[in-house]
Amino acid sequence: MGLIAREVESRGIPTLSMSSAYSITAAVNPPRAVYLDYPLGHTAGKPNDHENQRSIMRDTLRAFEDIDSPGAIRTLEYEWSSDHSWKDSVMRPDKSGASSDARVERYATPQYQDSDDETLVEEGCPTCVFLEN
Amino acid sequence: MREFIDYIERTREQYDTLGYPTYQWVHNEDAPPFAPLRKPLSESTVALVASGGIYRSGQIAFHYKDDISFRIIDSATPTDELRVTHFAYDLTDARIDPNVVFPIDTLKAMVQEGRIGQLAERAYTFMGGIYSARKVRDRLAPALADRLIENEVDVALMVPV
């Protein structure tokens, strides 16, 4: 996403990138970023916790307006839980040796959330844009 | 002691364990481009761009092998028509509430609060974890930038996973 932010910004549109992976964001070096110390898959907050999501967004928008130094990453002051033990198992084998990797096989066919979705696809899907590989 | 997870380091450890070749992360040492805000966010049209694999019911889902396609999602789409698919993260919470990776309702609340002017009519989504940085740089990034310019948005909020 950082590469896209850099391209969009270079074309004159200011961007702010949210992130839950500090080292990756720092390496790609987008124009402006906020960092939220939450597990991957929660870049914009906790599920169904509207106050949490809105508070994070208010802080994010404030950073969007404040950051005046290219490449700055502002850490947002939120914690996923009072202890940080969730971090121990991320991408690491558990005690039984089983991998905690959430990745799945790289199927080359569309992977629908609901099996019904496949039958509901609109003719030609005008809002799906496929680029030449 | 609070310590951030270093996903680059953990990926390296994991790939080593699995016997995969080391993944080459993008490192940009040069300063990023920087376009100052032209007006306050309270008067700006904000576009949402998200890479968590979000699509709308009625659209073709992403596939997991080098998918560089994107979806155009009308900002008025009811949240219960949003779907999420991705090979690289735990989708449980995103399927309960897509706002955790696609904060569309949150941004609508910011419009209500007067914090941003308005939400752009169209949001753009794709599936991150594209292995080839070259394809992102040469194909996807310019295509998305073209759309945002065409849509005359003032600023873009980028939400990766």
Across the interface, which of A9, A90, A93 has its CB nearest the CB of B35?
A9
Q: Is B8 on the interface with A (CB under 8 A)?
A: yes
| Residue A89 within a domain | no
ipTM over 0.85: yes
Distance from CA of A96 to the nearest CA of B (A): 16
Exposure string (b/e) for B46-75, b if CB count within 10 Å is 16 or more? Answer: bbbbbbbbbbbbebbbbbbeebbbbbbbeb
pLDDT of residue A94: 59
Evaluated on CA atoms B2, B4, B5, B9, the torsion sign reads: negative
A46 lies in which domain range? 1-82
Confidence of residue A89 (pLDDT cuts 50, 70, 90): confident
pLDDT grade for A103, boundaries at 50, 70 and 90: low
Residue A13 forms part of a structural domain: yes
Residue A63 placed within a domain: yes
pLDDT for the residue B1 = 52
CB pairs under 8 A between A and B: 310
Checking if the pLDDT of A105 tops 70, the result is yes
A7 in a structural domain = yes
Q: Residue A108: is its pLDDT beyond 70?
A: yes
Per DSSP, helices labelled H in chain A are 2-10, 22-28, 50-66, 115-119
Give the separation between CA B101 and CA B85, rounded to whole angstroms: 11
Q: Is residue A119 part of a domain?
A: no
Would you state the pLDDT for residue A43?
A: 98
- Verify whether the Cβ–Cβ distance B161 to A103 is below 8 Å: no
- Secondary structure letter of residue B137 according to DSSP: I
Q: By CA distance, what is A57's nearest residue in B?
A: B106
Asked if A90 has any chain B CB less than 8 Å from its own CB, the reply is: yes
The CA R_g of chain B, rounded to the nearest whole Å, is: 17
> A94-98, A122-126, B86-90: lowest mean pLDDT where?
A94-98
Spell out the per-residue pLDDT of chain B, length 161, in tens.
578 999 999 999 988 988 888 888 999 999 999 999 999 999 999 999 999 999 999 999 999 888 999 999 999 999 999 999 999 899 999 999 999 999 999 999 999 999 999 999 999 999 998 888 999 999 999 999 999 999 999 999 999 99
Say how many domains are in chain B: 1
- Name the β-bridge partners of B126: B70
The C-alpha atoms of residue B55 and residue B50 are separated, in whole angstroms, by 10
- Would you state the pLDDT for residue B131? 84
Closest residue in A to B151 (Cα) is A13
Q: Look up tokens 């194909």; give the residue.
A: B139
Residue B99, domain member (yes or no): yes
Structural domain including B110 reads 39-159
Chain A within 8 Å of B110 (Cβ-Cβ)?
yes
- Tens-place pLDDT, residues A31-50: 999 999 999 999 999 999 99
pLDDT tens readout for residues A71-87? 999 999 999 999 899 99
**Mean pLDDT confidence for A12-38:** 97
- Is B16 among the domain residues? no
Find the distance separating the first CA and the last CA of chain A, reported in whole Å.
18
Q: Is residue A65 part of a domain?
A: yes
**Would residue B10 count as lying in a domain?**
no
| pLDDT score, position A96 | 59
In a domain, B28, yes or no: no
Mean pLDDT of chain A: 92
CB B125 within 8 A of CB B55: yes
- Flag whether B22 is in a domain: no
Q: Is B66 on the interface with A (CB under 8 A)?
A: yes
The answer to whether residue A97 is domain-embedded is no
Q: Which residues pair with A6 in a beta bridge?
A: none
In a domain, A116, yes or no: no
Count the domains in chain A: 1
